[in-house]
Structure 1
């Protein structure tokens, strides 16, 4: 799978958007998790520079979303911006936000959806108002519900447009630390008590962080890793459902090490240790600016030269993108398994108490 133009790990996202202006101009785009100094704002900024018709930015904080729109409007004043307040950890908030999109006749279609928002490494186990572990509820389940609720407008875009209609899920290389714990989403068991296929990679965890955390019932990086695996499996399931019938593609992108406020719960020593180990293994662990970190999300959203995700085999290929290229070599098999994608879809439907055909 090759892109039309070759970009590098540090290519600014705006440069990529500028290479494919027809994929953005006049389009309706949603980016979740937008706040000052965030990957979301950098992603929205890259789209804004190519004149979309409507740019909808979401976040939990009204003040932060409005500050982001003020920043965008100062550079690109001729675009219609929409602030959508949404707490992804709250299913009622997600449903309210989706209803606003669906009822807004000024936004008849959604051409690009970037599910970017996320939390990372919450130090203690917390549950959402719906009784679901907060990281999983925020990073995966909220996006699962929101995407499916607004899907009719995404389908309508695909039926009307000659340019790509894409759903992008922002994941992480950190997914490799844990599969989805289907039998224990809320972290009530030690890793040793889980079925083998659901256990975190304790050896890799010890190598990267200095401790295996084998005896911990809950560990923040395991909850984060589980949610990031779910992001990839969600993209797999979307391709299984949407490409053949509607021509809608979904990619899961790893932005790299970006210095944003998503790291606020992780200790500096943990981050330093993990980056050091990544460098020892040959990975480019250099910190990116948000503008560089947003590049793979924008590429996945706008480049019509991306080949199809191959969902024909049990192990799906072409879905995981890092550093502006498809990276099948560095995605865990448990994150690209088509059967596990279906299992996650069913689990997610049960947790939101709604079926999506």
Structure 2
């Protein structure tokens, strides 16, 4: 007999816990913040646009009276902003129970670089999350049951990482770069979990993806593809698209389900993993390449200058 669908009703009481969620002013990140606030968590919305973050916080407070919601300016495309945000969150929070690396971008059709000289999509989706996690990890490590959840995408399937050209200077294709950054999210998660386990940390790392959900992320798509995500044609596309509140449940389950374990990934069920309430899912074989995971980690340390406060403890 199959188990009942995992819903917000399955979320344990989160009172006394602090959750930092990047990119939480809109889409599935906003829904995850709203859901966790509804279960009692103190939620920090870490977002690039401060005005939109403040508006999102107001909407959550209105939906969840008495909730504790604060904002943090974080531009993952800027290593300076990452460091400033990390210092601010460390100063304001002695402990973090949940860090959800949700923020991401699809990127422009033409290659752009950040102020640090990195290709913008890779910088935002991977390097920013890598650096921010490393800089606040010591606020999670002492906390029993603390978790780092990084949000990937089903488009990681078929993606590859070219370690000779991670900044895609030679050949830039927007969709391929986005897929590679989402593959990097998974490789980062699995390598982080390996290192956490080796150091016998109380923190674990998990991944999630929202399947195909209607969010403002579609603003970067072509007009033809944006049409498919239009709520007005929901009856036509409901079988391949789902509401963002359901899409958000993957990252929420990875963050709070007592049965979830480090190194797991959660997303919609089925072979295509497009829609549905979250279950444990398998990512691509490429994402599990331990050698590539380690190489990406070392390169990320070199590019960001961030080293993690982890010490391997031999059995």
TM-score of the pair, normalised by structure 2:
0.86
Of 254, 264, 267, the residue aligned with 1:322 is: 267
2:210–2:267 contact (8 Å) kept in structure 1: yes
Q: In structure 2, the residue corresponding to 1:119 is in which secondary structure?
A: coil
1:76 counterpart residue number: 64
Of 62, 70, 90, the residue aligned with 2:78 is: 90
1:204 counterpart residue number: none
Q: Does 1:173 align with 2:127?
A: no
The total of aligned residue pairs comes to 290
Change (3 A) 1:58 1:273: closer
Instruction: Write the distance in 1 (CA, Å) between the matches of 2:15 and 2:290.
Output: 34
Q: In structure 1, the residue corresponding to 2:77 is in which secondary structure?
A: coil
1:247 Cα deviation after fit: 3.1
Instruction: Write the distance in 2 (CA, Å) between the matches of 1:6 and 1:241.
Output: 34
Of 12, 21, 26, the residue aligned with 2:12 is: 21
1:121–1:266 contact (8 Å) kept in structure 2: no
Where in structure 2 are the equivalents of 1:187-226 lying within 5 Å? 187-189=168-170, 217-226=171-180
Q: In structure 1, the residue corresponding to 2:141 is in which secondary structure?
A: helix
Instruction: Write the distance in 2 (CA, Å) between the matches of 1:167 and 1:185.
Output: 24
1:177–1:222 contact (8 Å) kept in structure 2: no
Instruction: Write the distance in 2 (CA, Å) between the matches of 1:175 and 1:116.
Output: 15
1:118 Cα deviation after fit: 0.5
1:271 Cα deviation after fit: 6.5
- Provide Cα deviations, 1:26-66, integer angstroms capped at 9, x if missing partner: 10101110224x111101001011111x2100111111000
1:7 counterpart residue number: 5
Of 26, 34, 44, the residue aligned with 2:24 is: 34
Where in structure 2 are the equivalents of 1:145-294 lying within 5 Å? 145-158=131-144, 164-189=145-170, 217-244=171-198, 245-270=200-225, 286-294=240-248
Gaps of 5+ in 2: 230-237, 269-277, 311-315
TM-score of the pair, normalised by structure 1:
0.77
- Provide Cα deviations, 1:179-232, integer angstroms capped at 9, x if missing partner: 12211112122xxxxxxxxxxxxxxxxxxxxxxxxxxx2111011001000000
Of 94, 102, 105, the residue aligned with 1:108 is: 94
Instruction: Write the distance in 2 (CA, Å) between the matches of 1:249 and 1:47.
Output: 19
Of 347, 351, 355, the residue aligned with 2:299 is: 347
Instruction: Write the distance in 1 (CA, Å) between the matches of 2:135 and 2:239.
Output: 36
1:63 counterpart residue number: 51
Gaps of 5+ in 1: 9-14, 159-163, 190-216, 275-283, 310-318
Change (3 A) 1:62 1:108: same
The CA RMSD measured in Å over matched residues stands at: 2.1
Instruction: Write the distance in 2 (CA, Å) between the matches of 1:308 and 1:58.
Output: 23
Q: In structure 2, the residue corresponding to 1:246 is in which secondary structure?
A: coil
